[in-house]
Structure 1
Amino acid sequence: MAEITIQAATPDRFDDIQHAFAGGGDGAGCQCVWWLLRAKDWDATTVDSRRDMFRAEVDAGPPPGLLAYIDGTPAAWVRVGPRTRQPRLAHTRNYAASPDPFDDPSVWAVSCFVVRREFRGQGLNRALLDAAVDFARDGGARVVEAYPIDVRVQKTSTNDLYHGALSTFEAAGFHEVARPKPHLSIVQRDLAG
């Protein structure tokens, strides 16, 4: 049985994060800064400038996400943090149905997963999600929000599942608060109780 360990995305793990990004999907190109930039600003960036922005974010702290290792090998990533630090969410029409104001710093968002191809199907998204909830709770979050895809409604490519699958969030105790599109859900988990 493989050993899964999860660590915060600290500066000393930057190269490990890059390894996790490089194994499939859009992580290597996106550098997980999509949610930090408005569309026009995103269009003006290159992969190198995105990597520099991401490095600056990781170096400045607090950690913008978590990194999963399988038997010591960097295998997967999740972005989690206060929704206010992911400004594109506030400017994306599909997420306007969120019941909480976007300037509420106690609402944290799980917005992106990356899993290397060779480690898919091993439950890493669920392990990262559980760790993200604990990380958010420890960081003072009142609510954790996410924007998963309902694959029962629409078949979705692996690259487009960076939001995560709705079934994973439901199994982790999240409940749907809005359905902006038939395949796109907004879910929350209340951490106050």
Structure 2
Amino acid sequence: MHNLALLLRKKEKMTALLERLKQKQKELKLNIDNKPKFKKQKKANVFSKIEEVKGRKIYHTKIFNDFYTFGISKNEPTKFFISLRGIFNIEDISMFHLFSLREDDEFMGIYYGIRKLDKAFIVKNFNKKETYTLRKCEYIEFRFKKGSVFCYLNGLHILLKKDRVNSPYYNTLLNIILELETELYTFYNKELLKGGMIPEWIKKRQK
């Protein structure tokens, strides 16, 4: 009975999380003209490292779980905001901006990859009440002629698991990322590959 009760509680928590993600997906399909009101918006720097490589400025975010929301602010149309859910607690929201192009800069596109971490990253997840170790992490790169922003998201690893293809979280996260691609490419007036960028990456990497 104890094991059954524990399983039921875990199922209820997962159901609640999926419902939250579905709601966020619906919100992304609306006209996001105003800045969102975050429940717990962090003021701390979202970047763990900023470096210059061959004349290009490279920004690396800290490791987050997945997306909260994104879009263009009506009051600041030159900014595209991206807000992320915390890896330790998904209720913790952090945000950064991508800006309109300046001078001779150019938006090169969105790219995906996996990077080995410099050192093991221990995750104590508040929501799932579990602890695990990350030795590598998937990322989304927003690439420009003059630099890049590498956004590290632990949730992306789900998209590379064949046994999770039909899960609600998999489909919701995939749709959210496809929506992000569409909105960002539109923001930079760049043509997006038919079907999006991430399906090709998943096809090559999924096991």
- TM bucket, shorter chain: under 0.3
In terms of fraction of residues, the more helix-rich structure is: 1
TM-score of the aligned structures, taking structure 2 as reference length = 0.25
* Greater per-residue strand proportion: 2
Higher relative contact order (CA 8 A, sep 6+): 1
Give the structure with higher Rg (CA).
2
